[in-house]
């Protein structure tokens, strides 16, 4: 009978594993200091795991099931082993409980095996991950035999018990080896990452914490050059990556075969935590067009160049699809922007047209280089009141860079007419409105962003208004989520939200139904960044349009390719992101793809060939109002 | 789109902000009524404002005084207060669409007729005959100076009171003020003649009186030539000096520059350049003045496309670019630019049809846009029809294309049959003749539109009754056009037609007699075509002059070319008979007045006798159609839907339009088509 020996062997293994794991923490502890509420985090951790992580994992029920069985079984069995190690507590029925737990774990392990070996998804990594099913099967199977044998007596039971112990111990040794630098390190790092997460606010009651953290422009080094420049808890996050490939599946740049695979990007960061690192051992998909084995680096070595190519860095559209899908709650976009900050502010190494556009922005306060004085050029005949003339208005209409674009001006025209029609009293900053700084910030030019933010906030502080309404989700995000860190706190509402509210109040009267079939494309900065997916849909439904959804919609929508300055860095791929998105829209059979962002509009309208018509939600509403025949003569401006 | 940014930049003049740089200059479409701009005139300009234009100016040569009559082109009289309410209504309409509205004021001086409503002699600085109107003026006396100066100031007050955004005074095209400027007219020896300073005096007095009346804040401009291009006329240096002198005195807020003058037929044609001219031929004159003056410069003259317009503004040649005829062709030019639909702009081809009509006492109409000037009845933008129908159009000439275009814009399913490999019909023939090439733009735009909007175009397909009925149409439009009339004289088998020559089926011979019975472009342009290929050409016609029915801005260009090429012009002769003699042909011509016959020995006789309808298909289908092919003329002219249309129980209604009915012109075919289809 091995009743006394087995638990001790298991605990000894476990203890050695914990020692090794503790040794592993130095990988991420070499990061820069971070202010973390450790105790609060540890207390909050189980809740974060059960609620937030579960919400992500449960998007794939099968994965959730096998993970619950395998991981739950393992943890429960380890707890039982601890009990069984204490002789007075070693009640025989406990072996039965252990057997049950291990039987459940065995089912999970078989699922893991099937997934890894039989119908294996392409986004999964190989390497150590390929040994995982065997270790789990041996552990669960071996100790299941042992536990069952412990319920009986006699030579056969002893034989099975011994066999079980040997097999199970092999399995456990395998599991422990995989937990040290292998796939199962996610169990430990993942838990710690949840506890010490750099964005604890994202776990608080359905809040979205998506604004970038300000960079102290007085720091000795601006942005991140080397792995050790990241705060330790962010390195911990990278090291928690389980290489499940969900980010890879949703990344628009990866789909377009631009040289960015977010999984590989996080792995690059994690691998670089060991001195003399290379990506030789990485066994997943690489960055498209880049051979594996060529990356090398170390904790104190620059990341961009040898470890991660600059093309990878500048391919990101900051769409947050990867972040939204990540079951380990890793913040890919924050890492991208920190790396960009160093490239832009310290090295001035911006690719493509980005440097020229930022230069224009610095000189003229507008990306287009036209200057704020021209912001209302398109609207002379609309006679929009200026804040500096009226000093106060219930609604401040933030125009954004869209005011310089012919296409986007049509959306703004529709919006202005709708506001007039609804009797909304509004005004704009006009020539006093500077670029909000979104593009500069995403491209790493924190200095220009902070300069613009400071001056915009100073201007806004001179006037009284209840809320800011904007048709640009990028402006919305920056004004609402990123200006508060600089002293600006406003109620900022997207035009679709505002218009949906007006419709609900019935201010537009009867809307003439539009029989067309429409599909709605969620802008990343409205949906994933700000959680607004309902209002534009409610608005389209109110217009009597037949609404069909693309496969990827709402918070899981696919980017148009225009965010994060990607149109300026313009990293080539094999396809164009907007083409991919438009193909998804065309597949629905919709006649119209409704948009709610000037960037999406430009990107999607740039798609050639037969495709749905691209119309902003405001344009569709104005068409319906006009058809409804109640358009007042005062709104009869040219289109 | 960045290329057109310059056009969409607002311009502020005094307190007036124009929303963009595109404008229409004052002209005289003959839409005035009783000297007032009433509904038709207002709707015509309001449509441009709706289409996004920044500034539209109306009332070319609007009169300020009784001895400058408004009658000649149904124009506007600002000589008394009764016009003010119309100005108010007009301004409200245009402002409602966000546009600005101005008028042109003038005293025509000697450039008008004395035998009109008031039977007053014309006046001028000196009693020198005006060639275009053949009036011999009275030299102005001191009381005339006082009276006319006051009249200008009073008219200016009426503009301001009427809510107009400003006005310009015409000092161009040989009107009274530039009659004083120009040494070719002003031979005075008093303080108003002699030196340039003296010659400028009268105009300065007029503008000073205007300023005293309307104040410094009201926008007042001046239209002037940048070079009269005339011996003893105003030189470029004179014009720059005048522009500087007037603007530096604070008298004017903008200067609207033209090139040339208009005192004889050719000068007139040059000042209103047709398709024979390059685009923007006088932009350099505006540019030269802009360099010297501190006020905004406006410029018009054959700026037909937005690329040229954008260049004119972007490169700084002018501040406002006037696309006057371009807006007659497409009042939605600016909104199409703003909507990224530049390809949908119907571009002016420079046919001069609009302006030529007014010199014949008719209203201005666009050769290709049947809605212009008919805004109360004809929509520029077609709305969907309540009932979707299957429409078959036979013939891809301008009439058929317009019928297909309107039908598809109304939401109908349209099939278009064209027997040839190319759309365009007779326009393709006309475009073969030298400088008339640009007429092809009419068909090119229509063809592009019908293709883009999804008309099922069947080229190389000669429609038959069976083919049409197989389409199960509800509406059949026969627009099969015409073919050359082969005449009714003896020996007609011995002649060839202008079509044969232009389409290259018959080579020009050495000596050619071209006999033209239509007096239109066809004969004149074919004569030029022949002469340019080395033929010795005589152009004979029964009319009193060659190209008698060609308008006033086109005929001079034809005549200039024909004279240059040595074509012998023989009016007042009829063709009696043709007979062979050896390898030669003898043509017998008869003088219509003496009845004496003359003979010509030539190698080739070419005739232009108009067209006869191609109507076999129409008559094949007539009996089988529900309406027996009848067009209800009352419904047609009153803008109502045709009464006998199928109502779902099968059968089709049959209509015949354009030259397939009777040989007319491009506008007639397009108007037939649009007028029919807009209500179906």
Residue-by-residue DSSP string for A301-327: S-SBTTTB-HHHHTT-----HHHHH-T
Q: Of A81, A72, A78, A53, whose CA–CA distance to A111 is shortest?
A: A72
* CA A476 – CA A456 distance, rounded (Å): 14
For residue B434, pLDDT beyond 70: yes
Q: Of A433, A393, A391, whose CA–CA distance to A412 is shortest?
A: A433
B10, B18, B339 ranked by CB distance to A410: nearest: B339
**Quick one: B452 and B519 in the same domain?**
no
Report, as an integer, the average pLDDT of A403-430: 96
B456 located within any domain? yes
The verdict on a CB contact (< 8 Å) between A636 and B96 is yes
Report, as an integer, the average pLDDT of A9-35: 90
The verdict on a CB contact (< 8 Å) between A638 and B335 is yes
B311 located within any domain? yes
B97, B98, B338 ranked by CB distance to A409: nearest: B338
The residue among B555, B575, B609 that closes a domain is B609
Write out the H or E segment, with its range, that includes residue A627.
helix A617-627
pLDDT digits (tens, 9 = 90+) for B159-171: 999 999 999 999 9
* Integer-rounded Cα radius of gyration of chain A: 28
Q: How confident is the model at residue A1 (pLDDT cuts 50, 70, 90)?
A: low
Q: Provide the CATH number for the domain around residue B468.
A: 3.40.50.720
A–B: how many Cβ contacts below 8 A? 47
pLDDT digits (tens, 9 = 90+) for B479-536: 999 999 989 999 999 999 999 999 999 999 999 999 999 999 999 999 999 999 999 9
B373 located within any domain? no
**Quick one: B469 and B598 in the same domain?**
no
The verdict on a CB contact (< 8 Å) between A406 and B9 is no
**Quick one: B620 and B605 in the same domain?**
no
Contact A458, A434 (CB under 8 A): no
Q: How many residues does chain B have?
A: 680
The verdict on a CB contact (< 8 Å) between B9 and A380 is no
* CA A297 – CA A282 distance, rounded (Å): 14
DSSP-assigned beta bridge partners for residue B604: B512
The verdict on a CB contact (< 8 Å) between B99 and A409 is no
B313, B476, B512, B548 from B484: Cα distances, Å: 46, 25, 19, 20
* Nearest C-alpha in A relative to B334: A638
Q: How far is A379 from chain B (nearest CA, A)?
A: 7
B1, B19, B335 ranked by CB distance to A639: nearest: B335
Q: How far is A626 from chain B (nearest CA, A)?
A: 13
Report the pLDDT value the prediction gives residue A180, as an integer from 0 to 100.
83
Enter the ipTM: 0.86
pLDDT digits (tens, 9 = 90+) for B232-282: 999 999 999 999 999 999 999 999 999 999 989 999 999 999 999 999 999
Report the pLDDT value the prediction gives residue B42, as an integer from 0 to 100.
98
CA angle A288, A473, B336 (to 5 degrees): 95
Strands annotated E in B128-234 = 138-139, 166-171, 219-225
The verdict on a CB contact (< 8 Å) between A406 and B50 is no
Q: Residue B335: its chain A contacts at CB < 8 A?
A: 638-639
For residue A639, pLDDT beyond 60: no
Q: Provide the CATH number for the domain around residue B146.
A: 3.20.20.70
* Nearest C-alpha in A relative to B98: A381
Q: How far is B671 from chain A (nearest CA, A)?
A: 26
Spell out the domain ranges in chain A.
Answer: 5-195, 373-503, 504-635
Q: How far is A391 from chain B (nearest CA, A)?
A: 22
Fold equal for A373-503 and A504-635: yes
B376 located within any domain? no
Range of the domain at B503: 486-609
Q: Is A377 on the interface with B (CB under 8 A)?
A: yes
CA of residue A132 relative to chain centroid, distance: 27
For residue B363, pLDDT beyond 80: yes
Q: Which pairs with CB-CB distance under 8 Å and at least 24 residues apart come from B127-135?
A: B128/B185, B128/B187, B130/B174, B130/B263, B131/B263, B131/B264, B132/B174, B132/B262, B132/B263, B132/B264, B132/B265, B132/B268, B135/B110, B135/B111
Contact B370, B674 (CB under 8 A): yes
Report the pLDDT value the prediction gives residue B256, as an integer from 0 to 100.
98
* CA B28 – CA B24 distance, rounded (Å): 12
Q: Is A516 on the interface with B (CB under 8 A)?
A: no
B9, B49, B339 ranked by CB distance to A377: nearest: B9
For residue A635, pLDDT beyond 50: no
Report the pLDDT value the prediction gives residue A14, as an integer from 0 to 100.
87
The verdict on a CB contact (< 8 Å) between A636 and B52 is no
CB atoms within 10 A of CB B245: 16
Report the pLDDT value the prediction gives residue A422, as an integer from 0 to 100.
94
Q: How far is B2 from chain A (nearest CA, A)?
A: 9
pLDDT digits (tens, 9 = 90+) for A177-201: 888 878 888 989 999 999 999 999 9
**Quick one: B623 and B581 in the same domain?**
no
Q: How confident is the model at residue B108 (pLDDT cuts 50, 70, 90)?
A: very high
The 3-state DSSP class for residue B201 equals helix
**Quick one: B511 and B619 in the same domain?**
no
* Nearest C-alpha in B relative to A407: B339
Q: Is A39 on the interface with B (CB under 8 A)?
A: no
Q: Residue A366: its chain B contacts at CB < 8 A?
A: none
Give the range among A253-267, A506-520, B95-109, B227-241 with minimum mean pLDDT.
A506-520
Q: How confident is the model at residue B2 (pLDDT cuts 50, 70, 90)?
A: low
Report, as an integer, the average pLDDT of B664-668: 97
In B480-493, which positions are buried (b, 16+ CB within 10 angstroms) versus exposed (e)? bbbebbebebebbe
Report the pLDDT value the prediction gives residue B70, as an integer from 0 to 100.
82
**Quick one: B92 and B223 in the same domain?**
yes
Strands, sheet with A464-470, edge to edge from the N-terminal-most edge strand: A426-428, A392-398, A464-470, A492-494
For chain B, percent of residues with pLDDT exceeding 70: 100
**Quick one: B120 and B205 in the same domain?**
yes
**Quick one: B58 and B206 in the same domain?**
yes
> What total number of domains does chain B contain?
3
* CA B133 – CA A112 distance, rounded (Å): 100
As a dihedral over the C-alpha atoms of residue A439, residue A443, residue A445, residue A450, rounded to 10 degrees, the angle is: 40
**Quick one: B157 and B306 in the same domain?**
yes
* CA A15 – CA B520 distance, rounded (Å): 107
**Quick one: B521 and B471 in the same domain?**
no
Q: Is A528 on the interface with B (CB under 8 A)?
A: no
User: What CATH architecture does domain A373-503 belong to?
Assistant: 3-Layer(aba) Sandwich (3.40)
* CA B375 – CA A181 distance, rounded (Å): 79
More confident residue, B378 or A55: B378
Give the range among A139-143, A157-161, A321-325 with minimum mean pLDDT.
A157-161
**Quick one: B124 and B9 in the same domain?**
yes
Supply φ then ψ for residue B539, to 5 degrees.
-105, 115
B374 located within any domain? no
Q: Provide the CATH number for the domain around residue B525.
A: 3.50.50.60
Report the pLDDT value the prediction gives residue A634, as an integer from 0 to 100.
38
Helices (H), ranges, B51-183:
84-96, 142-161, 176-181
* CA A410 – CA B68 distance, rounded (Å): 46
**Quick one: B91 and B141 in the same domain?**
yes
The verdict on a CB contact (< 8 Å) between A638 and B9 is no
Q: Specify burial of residue A73 (Cβ count, 10 A radius: 0-12, 13-18, 19+).
A: buried
The verdict on a CB contact (< 8 Å) between B335 and A374 is no
Give me the CATH code for the A504-635 domain, please: 3.40.50
């Amino acid at each position: 009978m091995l009743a006394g020996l087995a638990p001790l062997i298991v605990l000894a293994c476990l203890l050695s594993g914990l020692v090794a794991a503790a040794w592993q923490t130095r990988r991420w502890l070499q990061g820069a200091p971070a202010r973390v509420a450790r105790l609060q985090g540890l207390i909050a951790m189980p809740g974060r795991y059960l609620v937030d992580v579960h919400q992500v994992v449960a998007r794939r029920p099968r994965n959730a099931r096998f993970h619950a069985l395998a991981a739950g079984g393992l943890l429960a069995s380890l707890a039982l082993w601890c009990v069984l190690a204490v002789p007075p507590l070693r009640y025989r029925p406990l072996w039965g409980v252990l057997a049950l737990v291990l039987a459940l774990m065995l089912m999970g392990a078989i699922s893991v095996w099937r997934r890894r070996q039989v119908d294996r998804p392409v986004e999964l990594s190989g390497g150590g991950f390929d040994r995982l099913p065997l270790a789990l099967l041996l552990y669960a199977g071996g100790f299941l035999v042992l536990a069952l044998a412990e319920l009986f007596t006699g030579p056969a039971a002893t034989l099975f018990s011994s066999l079980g112990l040997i097999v199970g111990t092999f399995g456990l040794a395998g599991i422990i080896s995989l937990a040290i630098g292998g796939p199962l390190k996610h169990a430990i790092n993942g838990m710690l990452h949840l506890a010490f997460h750099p964005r604890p606010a994202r776990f608080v009651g359905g809040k979205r914490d998506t604004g970038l953290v300000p960079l102290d422009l007085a720091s000795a080094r601006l942005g991140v050059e080397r792995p050790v420049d990241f705060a330790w808890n962010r390195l911990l996050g990278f090291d928690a990556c389980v290489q499940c490939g969900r980010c890879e599946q949703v990344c628009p740049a990866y789909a377009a075969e631009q040289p960015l695979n977010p999984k590989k990007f996080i792995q690059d960061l994690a691998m670089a935590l060991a001195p003399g690192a290379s990506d030789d051992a990485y066994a997943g998909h690489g960055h498209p067009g880049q051979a594996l084995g060529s990356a090398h680096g170390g904790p104190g070595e620059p990341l961009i160049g040898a470890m991660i190519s600059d093309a990878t860095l500048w391919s990101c559209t900051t769409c947050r699809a990867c972040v939204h899908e990540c079951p380990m709650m890793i913040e890919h976009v924050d890492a991208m922007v920190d790396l960009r900050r160093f490239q832009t502010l310290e090295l001035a190494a911006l690719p493509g047209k980005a440097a020229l556009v930022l230069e224009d922005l610095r000189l003229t306060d507008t990306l287009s280089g036209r200057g704020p004085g021209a912001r209302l050029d398109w609207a002379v005949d609309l006679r929009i009141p200026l804040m500096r003339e009226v000093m106060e208005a219930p609604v401040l209409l933030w125009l954004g860079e869209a005011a310089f674009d012919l296409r986007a001006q049509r959306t703004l025209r529709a919006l202005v007419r709708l506001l007039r029609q609804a009797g909304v009293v509004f005004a704009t900053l006009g020539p006093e409105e500077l670029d909000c700084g979104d593009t500069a910030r995403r491209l790493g030019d924190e200095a220009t962003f902070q300069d613009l933010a400071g001056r915009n906030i100073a201007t806004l502080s001179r006037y009284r208004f209840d809320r800011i309404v904007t048709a640009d989700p990028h402006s919305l995000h920056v004004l609402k989520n990123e200006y508060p860190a600089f002293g600006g706190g406003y109620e900022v509402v997207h035009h679709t939200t505002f218009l949906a509210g007006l419709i609900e109040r019935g201010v537009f009267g009867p809307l003439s139904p539009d029989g067309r079939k429409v599909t709605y494309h969620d802008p990343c900065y409205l949906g994933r960044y700000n959680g607004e997916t309902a209002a534009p849909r409610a608005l389209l439904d109110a217009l009597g349009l037949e609404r069909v959804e693309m496969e990827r919609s709402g918070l899981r929508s696919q980017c148009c390719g225009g965010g994060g300055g990607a149109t300026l860095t313009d990293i080539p791929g094999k396809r164009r992101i907007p083409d991919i998105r438009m193909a998804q829209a065309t597949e629905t059979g919709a006649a119209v793809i409704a948009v709610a962002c000037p960037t999406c509009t430009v990107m999607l309208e740039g798609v050639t060939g037969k495709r749905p018509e691209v119309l902003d939600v405001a344009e569709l509403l104005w068409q319906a109002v006009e058809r409804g025949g109640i358009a007042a003569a005062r709104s009869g401006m040219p289109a | 789109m960045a290329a057109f940014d310059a056009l969409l930049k607002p311009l502020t003049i005094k307190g007036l902000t124009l929303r963009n740089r595109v404008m229409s200059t004052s002209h005289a479409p003959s839409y005035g009524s009783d000297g007032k701009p009433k509904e038709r005139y207002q709707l015509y300009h309001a449509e441009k404002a709706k289409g996004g234009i920044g500034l539209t100016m109306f009332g070319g040569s609007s009169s300020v005084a009784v001895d400058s009559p408004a009658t000649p082109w149904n124009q506007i009289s600002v000589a008394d207060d009764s016009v003010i309410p119309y100005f108010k209504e007009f301004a409200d309409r245009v402002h409602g669409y966000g546009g600005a509205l101005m008028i042109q004021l003038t005293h025509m001086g000697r450039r008008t007729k004395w035998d009109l409503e008031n039977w007053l002699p014309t006046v001028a600085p000196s009693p020198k005959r005006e060639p275009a109107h053949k009036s011999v003026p009275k030299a102005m006396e001191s009381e005339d100076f006082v009276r006319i100066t006051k009249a200008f100031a009073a008219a200016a007050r009426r503009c301001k009171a009427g809510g107009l955004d400003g006005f310009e005074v015409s000092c161009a095209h040989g009107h009274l003020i530039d009659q004083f400027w120009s040494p070719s007219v002003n031979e005075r020896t008093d303080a108003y003649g002699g030196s340039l300073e003296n010659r400028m005096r009268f105009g300065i007095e007029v503008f000073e009186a205007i300023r005293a009346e309307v104040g410094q804040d009201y926008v007042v401009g001046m239209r002037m030539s940048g070079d009269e291009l005339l011996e003893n006329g105003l030189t470029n240096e004179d014009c720059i000096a005048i522009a500087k002198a007037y603007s530096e005195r604070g008298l004017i807020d903008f200067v609207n520059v033209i090139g040339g003058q208009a005192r004889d037929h050719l000068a007139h044609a040059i000042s209103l350049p047709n398709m024979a001219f390059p685009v923007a031929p006088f932009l350099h004159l505006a540019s030269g003045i802009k360099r010297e003056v501190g006020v905004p410069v406006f410029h018009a003259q054959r700026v037909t496309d937005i690329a040229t317009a954008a260049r004119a503004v972007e490169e700084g040649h002018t501040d406002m670019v006037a696309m006057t005829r371009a807006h007659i062709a497409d009042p939605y030019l600016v909104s199409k630019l703003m909507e990224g639909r530049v390809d949908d702009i119907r571009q002016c081809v420079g046919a001069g049809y609009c302006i030529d009509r007014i010199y014949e006492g008719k209203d201005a109409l666009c050769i290709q846009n049947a809605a212009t000037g008919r805004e109360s009845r004809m929509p520029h933008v077609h709305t969907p029809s309540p009932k979707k129908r299957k429409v078959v159009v036979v013939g891809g000439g301008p009439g058929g294309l317009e019928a297909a275009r309107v039908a598809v814009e109304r939401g109908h399913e349209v099939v278009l049959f064209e027997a040839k490999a190319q759309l365009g019909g007779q326009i393709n023939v006309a475009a073969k003749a030298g400088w008339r090439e640009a007429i092809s733009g009419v068909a090119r735009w229509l063809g592009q539109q019908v293709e883009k909007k999804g008309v099922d175009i069947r080229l190389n397909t000669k429609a038959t009754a069976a083919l049409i009925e197989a389409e199960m149409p509800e509406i059949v439009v026969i627009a099969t056009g015409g073919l050359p009339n082969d005449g009714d004289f003896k020996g007609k088998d011995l002649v060839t037609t202008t079509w044969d020559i232009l389409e290259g089926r018959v080579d020009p011979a050495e000596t050619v007699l071209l006999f033209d019975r239509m007096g239109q472009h066809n004969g004149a342009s074919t004569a030029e075509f022949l002469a340019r290929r080395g033929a010795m050409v005589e152009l004979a016609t029964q009319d009193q002059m060659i190209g008698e029915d060609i308008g006033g801005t086109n005929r001079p260009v034809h005549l200039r070319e024909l004279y240059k090429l040595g074509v012998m012009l023989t009016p007042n002769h009829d063709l009696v008979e043709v007979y062979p003699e050896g390898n030669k042909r003898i043509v017998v011509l008869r003088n219509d007045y003496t009845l004496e016959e003359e003979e010509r020995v030539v190698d080739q006789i070419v005739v232009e006798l108009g067209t006869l309808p191609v109507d076999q298909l129409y008559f094949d289908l007539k009996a089988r159609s529900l309406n027996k092919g009848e067009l209800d003329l009352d419904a047609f002219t009153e803008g109502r839907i045709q009464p006998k249309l199928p109502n779902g129980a099968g059968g089709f209604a049959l209509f015949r339009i354009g030259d397939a009915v009777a040989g007319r012109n491009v506008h007639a075919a397009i108007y037939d088509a649009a007028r029919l289809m807009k209500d179906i």
